[in-house]
Structure 1
């Protein structure tokens, strides 16, 4: 993963008023956290930050130029306005090259499963440990031609070199199940007490109409 370069400014104004003024200037308030140090409050360029986060994904790696000092950072939390869909605030954590970090990486299903199946993603993300500069954007699960009943556990996932699983190895990540047909659903409803009652009510309604 290559780092997206951004120029950041330290800020000394805080609170909602200051945040509104920053956003009005097409910039984004941010905070970078570092082990053993107080968090640093920053201002990031609006459009460039949005493009960097969009390109880098959930764990975008940023190379920040902060008053001439270069600091690598991973996106930790991105707050987005639910209506205007613009970035409101970004939390980052400082990292170093070669440092191992714990991250949640999205699961991406690829391929077409077998006929009459439904692919269910049970866990949309997977907990991994990876080098800060080599965090994968996603972990692919290939379901090509998978039959109903096929299950992909966390331990079945193919991870890039240097990346290791930190969560439950037996966790069900993707499940391939049989697709329920309309005929099967109708039969299940007819066999159930509730379904029988509905069918009887429908029959009585038909008789009454006649």
Structure 2
């Protein structure tokens, strides 16, 4: 079974091409103004064309309204919508029906109690992304480089495909996969020189490290 590797927050043709050439399965594009990785629709259109047919295009939004989602879907033509805000189960259902696209719901995790909403989301979402819970004073819910306790997911019985995110990098991705048995990993700040600025060598190193963990997925 192959591990899905997602590089999120890509914003330039050069770094997107590095991620694609290195074998990323998913490439994520952020549409959330407080984020240093936020894309304009014009840039999204260009990058979407570049990635078409080469990897799964993921559009990340945070509590976006229908009009915003519609504009993103039109220009990027994503393969999946990543909902990274406080969207309810009903909202997920509405978005799937309205746009006809699969959705990946991000669930912030700090303790086992944070998994309480999981059954409701899992009944509607196509994938779940477990991310570190942001501090209360944070201006955005993810991409902060924080790691959560992966042991919270250690005995998780989830039939739905899931990814792990939050503070991953080339040095710790193997341990994250070993503990969680996640089917995918998602990185953003862990392959950046400074917030929002991806480093080509770090992207390649992360993908190499993630690929090396695939043997851990054989139970």
Q: Which has the higher contact order (CA 8 A, sep 6+)?
A: 2
Give the number of the structure whose alpha-carbon radius of gyration is greater.
Answer: 1
Greater share of strand residues, 1 or 2? Answer: 1
State the TM-score bracket (shorter-chain normalisation): under 0.3
Give the structure-1-normalised TM-score: 0.26
Give the structure-2-normalised TM-score: 0.25
